[in-house]
A = this chain, B = another copy of it.
Amino acid sequence: MNTAADFQADILSAVAHPNRIRILEKIRYGINCNCEIAPELNMEQSNLSRHLKILVKSGILRSWKEGLRTNYEIADKRIYKLLDIAADIAKTKLEKQTEVFA
């Protein structure tokens, strides 16, 4: 049986990778085609494709075909709230660590 924690973990682990976070940031600022993301992030094409697939499968992204291209958009904008909080937590953590040397 799956409990709430399992579903939460599914969402969180879909986002818990540096490249996937970078992908989501690109999409956040208007880039929504696979082909534009790849060169910007300097990622191997098949690797990017797989990361995008993970994000779609987890329900974070939605994708549609447009000729040769595959476009992506956010399916649930709250994921950005989640990323922002993670950034805040990480920032505080770093500040506390460097405090020692101040």
Q: What residues make up the interface of A, taking CB atoms closer than 8 Å to B?
A: 3-13, 15-19, 21-22, 25, 58-60, 76, 78-79, 81-83, 85-94, 96
B15 and A83 form a contact (CB under 8 A): no
What are 20 residue pairs bridging A and B, where the CB atoms are less than 8 Å apart in the complex?
A: A5-B22, A5-B25, A6-B18, A7-B87, A8-B21, A8-B90, A9-B17, A9-B21, A11-B86, A11-B90, A12-B21, A13-B13, A13-B17, A16-B16, A59-B93, A59-B96, A76-B92, A78-B89, A79-B89, A82-B89
Known A-B contacts A15-B12, A16-B13; the reply to A7 vs B94 at CB < 8 A is: yes
Work out how many copies of this chain go into the complex: 2
B78 and A88 form a contact (CB under 8 A): yes
